[in-house]
């Protein structure tokens, strides 16, 4: 019995501008995390709580420094790793998408099962000319989201998927 080979990469990358979007999102999270650790460090350091270790009460600035040092590699690496991994392809009657940063997800969505195709843009995506395509089926496991697409590519793909899905439904009746 032949075992199937590894999954091949979908043919299309998302827009290179997606790296900027993911960097901006990671930067916002980084600022909130480090800012929150500054607040917590100041609150704990100035409170005189007896259960707080003495070294921490004497140097509350260590908390944001440690948080910053530990999260900076993720801030820098995430946009590039996500860009290398996020791919999509419309092949025959199947949409194939792969995504993930810490975990990877491969999704195959048969066009005949598509119920809705939605194109959305958050304010950061709109600012960068990007869009997110949500392909929904009756099964949650068969649905897919493709983030970081160029706005025009997302619009064209949404139209093509809607057209193909309609043709397949007409052929089935």
Dump pLDDT digits (tens) for 14-72.
999 999 999 999 999 999 999 999 888 878 766 666 676 777 777 778 889 999 999 99
Could you tell me which residue, 8 or 2, shows the higher pLDDT?
A: 8
Residue 76, in any domain of the structure = yes
State the residue range of the domain holding 46: 14-83
Could you tell me which residue, 151 or 113, shows the higher pLDDT?
A: 151
Residue 3, in any domain of the structure = no
**Model pTM score:** 0.81
151 vs 159: CA distance, rounded Å? 12
Secondary structure (3-state) at 104 = coil
Residue 35, in any domain of the structure = yes
Q: Which two tokens stand for residue 70?
A: 């530990």
Whether residues 50 and 75 share a domain: the answer is yes
Of 52, 83, 114, the domain-final residue: 83
60 vs 47: CA distance, rounded Å? 11
DSSP letter, residue 102 = S
Residue 72, in any domain of the structure = yes
Identify any residues that bridge with 91 across adjacent strands, giving them in sequence order.
94
Decide: residue 165, CB within 10 A, 0-12 exposed, 13-18 middle, 19+ buried. Answer: buried
Whether residues 99 and 159 share a domain: the answer is yes
Of 39, 58, 83, the domain-final residue: 83
Number of domains in the chain: 2
Confidence category of residue 84, pLDDT binned at 50, 70, 90? very high
Identify any residues that bridge with 67 across adjacent strands, giving them in sequence order.
none
């Amino acid at each position: 019995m032949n075992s199937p080979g590894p999954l091949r990469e979908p043919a299309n990358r998302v827009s290179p501008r997606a790296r900027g979007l993911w960097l901006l999102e990671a930067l916002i999270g980084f600022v909130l995390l480090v800012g929150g650790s500054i607040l917590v460090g100041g609150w704990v350091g100035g409170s005189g709580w007896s259960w707080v270790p003495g070294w921490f009460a004497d140097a509350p600035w260590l908390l944001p420094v440690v948080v910053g040092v530990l999260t900076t590699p993720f801030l820098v690496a995430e946009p590039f790793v996500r860009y290398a991994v996020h791919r999509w392809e419309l092949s025959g009657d199947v949409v194939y998408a792969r995504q993930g940063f810490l975990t990877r997800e491969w999704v195959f969505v048969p066009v005949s099962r598509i119920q809705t195709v939605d194109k959305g843009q958050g304010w950061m995506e709109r600012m960068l000319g990007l869009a997110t395509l949500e392909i929904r089926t009756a099964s949650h496991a068969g649905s897919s989201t493709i983030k970081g697409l160029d706005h025009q590519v997302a619009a064209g793909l949404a139209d093509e998927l809607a057209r193909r899905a309609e043709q397949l439904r007409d052929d089935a009746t």
